[in-house]
Amino acid sequence: MSGVKCTSKKKISILLSVLLSASFILSGCQSEVKQQYSLVSRAEQYDFIKEDKSTLMASDLCPYVKDSSGASDNKSVYAAGAFNESTGETKYSQNLLEKIYPASTTKILTALVAIQNGNLKQICTVEASDLDLPAGSSVADLKEGDKLSLEDLLKGMLLVSGNDAAKALARSVAGSEDKFALMMNQKAKEIGASHSNFVNADGLPDENHYTCAYDMYIIFHNALKEKTFRSIIKAKKLDATITDRDGNTDVVTYKSTNMYFTGDIKAPDGIQVLGGKTGTTDAAGYCLVLLSKNKKTNQQIITVVFKADTRYDLYLMTNKLLNSFGSV
């Protein structure tokens, strides 16, 4: 899902450097500096969304806002958002509540549910059903009979977007992927991601598997509260120990597919990318949910970009969003 090839990496880096040399500040609706009272009152005060207030109840969430000025000009991506987690500001909004397909960003919720309901040290055995995947799927290269910990499955799922790892993890935690999907929907509803429905743990295409950009912000925001999740997505590479069906043990290294970590994409000056999750399918386009920070102020930033036409457009839009935080 994240293995689709794009244009020359060198070309992408050069183009982004040129485009970002110009000052780009996204304009649009912003919330006031974060207050201690409910975000519902603040949202209504500034004419933010008035429907489905369950998504606005958590006091530590940046609120939903209507489309920012100029959002309709960004035609190479369908939905996007930029959120200052330190101040509670929603700095940019584009189709935040419109239906989208999440692709492998689904695995953010999969990880959250697994961490909160499973035992990280539990040894899981890979079954044949975990490997029944469409041709071209991204995998952690697991084999039937392999044994590895739940924590190591998380590494393979989040760093290389292994669909085999996601299925093995879901089955190990819930008994079946279908039961795990019920847990995913329960968790999404619990945290206020009410515009979503999930039917699998990996994000492979299904018309009943959908979300919206704001829901994915909520899900990522909550997943970041889990130390294990945060430590995995912030890593450029991690080792996992796998014992095969014959009892032979090997250590494999999973390397992040995040192009900021591979060095193929450079973040704007003053911004440090901390980690995130990519996703790609024909229906979903190119997707990226990302955690970054302003180096000077240490303010935490979440950006979400969904259904970009190309990988180049995905990272270009992400850098545009991040560039607006560079001088905070």
Rounded to the nearest 10 degrees, what angle do helices 106-117 and 150-159 cross at?
170
Task: Choose the catalytic residue: 31, 104, 149, 196.
Answer: 104
Dist CA 169 CA 151 (whole Å): 9
161 as an active site residue: the answer is yes
How many other β-carbons are positioned within 10 Å of the β-carbon of residue 45? Answer: 10
In SS3 terms, the chain reads as CCCCCCCCHHHHHHHHHHHHHCCCCCCCCCCCCCCCCCHHHHHHHCCCCCCCHHHHCCCCCCCCCCCCCCHHHCCCCCEEEEEECCCCEEEEEECCCCCECCHHHHHHHHHHHHHHHCCCCCEEECCHHHHCCCCCCCCCCCCCCCEEEHHHHHHHHHHCCCHHHHHHHHHHHHCCHHHHHHHHHHHHHHHCCCCCECCCCCCCCCCCCEECHHHHHHHHHHHCCCHHHHHHHCCCEEEEEEECCCCCEEEEEEECCCHHHHCCCCCCCCEEEEEEEEEEECCCEEEEEEEEEECCCCCEEEEEEEEECCHHHHHHHHHHHHHCCCCC
Rounded to the nearest 10 degrees, what angle do helices 106-117 and 213-223 cross at?
30
Bridge partners for 272 per DSSP: 293
Task: Choose the catalytic residue: 2, 34, 68, 107.
Answer: 107
107 as an active site residue: the answer is yes
Task: Choose the catalytic residue: 2, 68, 149, 161.
Answer: 161
Catalytic residue positions, numbered:
104, 107, 161
